[in-house]
Amino acid sequence: MFDLSPLWISLKVALPATIFTFVLGICAARTVVKLKHGQAVIDGLFTLPLVLPPTVVGFFLLLAFGKNSLVGQFFSQFGFSFIFSWQGAVIASTAVSFPLMYRTVRGAFEQIDQEYLYAARTLGMTEGKIFRKIIIPLAWPGILAGTILSFARALGEFGATIMIAGNIPGKTQTMSVAVYTAVQAGDRESAYLWVMIIVCFSFVMMLAMNFCTSFQVRFARRKGAAK
Amino acid sequence: MSLYVDIEKHLPGFHLRTSFEAGNEILSILGASGCGKSLTLKCIAGIETPDRGRIVLDGRVLFDSQKRINLPVRDRKIGYLFQTYALFPHMTVRENIACGLTSRDRSFVGSWVEKFYLSGLEDHYPSQLSGGQQQRTALARMLASRPSLIMLDEPFSALDDYLKWQLEQELMHIIRDFPGTALFVSHNRDEVYRMSDRIAVMGNGRLKTVQRKKELFQNPESLEAALLTGCKNISHAEYIDDHTFFASDWNIVLTSSVPVPKDIRYAGFRAHYFSIELDASLPNTMECTVTDIIEDTFSMILLFREKQNKKSGDWTGLRFELPKTLWNDQIKKDTIFLRFPKDKFLFMK
């Protein structure tokens, strides 16, 4: 019987990772958009995981969450370790998918016509209220697109995951790791099957994302006053 | 109830320096695009921060660079009508009007809807409204937040002519009822003339003149004012005596029944005041070479220059506009005689 556990592990990892990325990405995008100085530097830092080799990201994560790190020592008191656990894979997926969320959301925020924000301020709305009532609703299609993109990326994460969580069947072996294992073991049939599943998943998500993006452009632009 | 503004702001390639006062009135700011009128409004609203200066509204200091006061936009109590209204596209008419209000003021939303003839449209989104309905929603939203000052930034520039007239009438009734100061910004002299009693003329980041409108059109004090009020013929001018001056760009010595100021720099002459003569026997008559004839909607436009004029420059050509009904083939000759009536000159320093 074909072992479906990599699918469930992938989903178990990608879902919480997407939730973390969702929150972190929106916060990061908001912070960077509001920055007056040093935007390029912070932006570069936030985007770095996108261009670094995933193994390098995994290496940094090992430094940050490994047994000898502060975080690792704190959790080891409770007999828990991120290394070789699915929670470690969540961290890896979050780190790698974060830049995609951050970039997409930032783009959506920047597409919002400034005049809406000026108008909201002259009407006496506080910055917090403007964020909740104007920015988020207007950037909503972009936020959704970023979330889908991040989820797809989290689902397909390989390099950093194998560095921090390893390749333990039934525990940390995700779909992308399963493809690697199957090819290594010469199990062509399983490899084909996983590849097909992953390609279908990813393609559907890209279609959904493109739909959201096209909606964002129409939404955030100010329409002409008169028809 | 009054507004006092004295601000300065440097931008790359642009320097804004303006000061004016306005009471309980509609004050128009007339200026060509890019002259700094919108920037002035943005500084007053707090969207842009001036480098230096002071803004006081009804005794409240909104901005003072020396005392380091810079009230945030939301505390300034200024209503700002944007050129394209900036209605929030994801909110209904009711939500747009209510969005900036405290829970106490929110109970009045219904009465704002009624007052602005928006009943039945409360649950429509801005994209479902006509231009007029959008403008009324934006006005209702602005006034519901109880501003002490309202500012209207080119509210008609995005509209078609026929729609513009109707919206202008509606807007005029609404802002005439407004108890505080209203600033109306436009590049259109006719709009400004209909809308307000006092007009400030702005050019190149400076506020040139603030005049009553009749005075402004009869006797513009600055070159910008003359151009913006639609004076088509302008020349550098040199004083000869109290009733004579030399218009150097036009290449003619002219006599005026209005005294010529000693420090005159420019003279202006409106394009429809010329009279056609048969020869150069009368004073102030120019022998003209016609350079072009343009047919406009209801008038003919004759472009010409003085026959002996060898100078080049934008102002050496003159313009004569006459109704089509007065047009006849006599005028189509290459050379005609045009007279400047003595009492129609504008003098600028």
Q: Report the Cα B167 to chain-centroid distance in Å.
A: 18
Give me Rg for the CA atoms of chain A: 20
pLDDT tens-digit readout, A137-150: 999 989 999 999 99
Contact at 8 Å (CB) between B26 and B176? yes
Residue A1: per-residue pLDDT: 63
In whole angstroms, give the CA distance from residue B40 to residue B200: 12
Confidence grade of residue A224 (pLDDT, cut at 50, 70, 90):
very low
Confidence grade of residue B52 (pLDDT, cut at 50, 70, 90):
very high
Tell me the chain A residues in contact with residue B158 when contact means C-beta distances shorter than 8 Å.
224-226
User: Whole-model pTM?
Assistant: 0.80
Three-state DSSP at B36 gives: coil
Tell me the chain A residues in contact with residue B45 when contact means C-beta distances shorter than 8 Å.
118, 122
DSSP state of A226: -
Q: Does A116 touch chain B (CB under 8 A)?
A: yes
When pLDDT is averaged across residues B232-241 and rounded to a whole number, the result is 92
DSSP state of A134: I
- Specify the range with the lowest mean pLDDT, choosing from A75-79, B81-85, B99-103, B155-159: B155-159
Interface test with B, best of A112, A115, A117, A123 (most B CBs within 10 A): A123
CB contact under 8 A, A122 and B76: yes
Q: Does A113 touch chain B (CB under 8 A)?
A: yes
* CB nearest to A137's CB, from B76, B90, B158: B90
**Encoding tokens for residue B180?**
């505080």
In whole angstroms, give the CA distance from residue A56 to residue B317: 73
Interface test with A, best of B71, B82, B141 (most A CBs within 10 A): B82
In whole angstroms, give the CA distance from residue A108 to residue A212: 11
Cβ neighbours, 10 Å, residue B232: 16
pLDDT tens-digit readout, B119-148: 999 999 999 998 889 989 999 999 999 999
Give the dihedral sign, CA A161/A166/A172/A174: positive
Q: Cα distance from B298 to chain A (closest Cα, Å)? A: 28
In whole angstroms, give the CA distance from residue B195 to residue B183: 10
**Encoding tokens for residue A5?**
């556990």
Pairing of strands B14-22, B60-64: unpaired
CB contact under 8 A, B158 and A226: yes
pLDDT at B322 over 70: yes
Contact at 8 Å (CB) between B200 and B228? no
Tell me the chain A residues in contact with residue B89 when contact means C-beta distances shorter than 8 Å.
138, 219, 222-223
Q: Does A123 touch chain B (CB under 8 A)?
A: yes
Instruction: Please state whether A131 falls in left (phi above 0), alpha (psi between -120 and 50) or beta.
Output: alpha
Sheet holding B181-186, edge to edge: B69-70, B60-64, B52-57, B3-11, B14-22, B206-212, B198-203, B26-31, B181-186, B149-153, B78-81
When pLDDT is averaged across residues A100-123 and rounded to a whole number, the result is 94
Contact at 8 Å (CB) between A177 and A167? yes
Tell me the chain A residues in contact with residue B142 when contact means C-beta distances shorter than 8 Å.
122-123
Residue B78: per-residue pLDDT: 94
Q: What is the mean pLDDT of chain B?
A: 89
Confidence grade of residue A219 (pLDDT, cut at 50, 70, 90):
low
Interface test with A, best of B70, B71, B74 (most A CBs within 10 A): B74
In whole angstroms, give the CA distance from residue B106 to residue B7: 35
Q: Which residues of A57-87 are buried (b: 16+ CB within 10 A; e: fewer)?
A: bbbbbbeebbeebeebeebeeeeeebbebbb
Contact at 8 Å (CB) between B327 and B277? no
Amino acid occupying residue B43: C
Residue A182: per-residue pLDDT: 92
Contact at 8 Å (CB) between B151 and B86? no
> 3-state SS of chain A: helix, strand, coil percent to 5?
80, 0, 20
pLDDT at A227 over 50: no
Write down how long chain B is.
349
* CB nearest to A123's CB, from B46, B90, B141: B141
Q: Is the ipTM of this complex over 0.85?
A: no
What percentage of chain B carries pLDDT values higher than 70?
Answer: 98
When pLDDT is averaged across residues B59-69 and rounded to a whole number, the result is 94
Interface test with A, best of B38, B99, B152 (most A CBs within 10 A): B99
Pairing of strands B69-70, B60-64: antiparallel
Tell me the chain A residues in contact with residue B103 when contact means C-beta distances shorter than 8 Å.
none
Sheet holding B233-241, edge to edge: B252-255, B244-247, B233-241, B266-269, B345-348
Nearest partner of A201 among A2, A5, A14, A1, judged by Cα: A14
Q: What is the mean pLDDT of chain A?
A: 90
pLDDT tens-digit readout, B142-198: 999 999 999 999 888 767 777 788 888 888 888 888 888 999 999 988 888 888 889
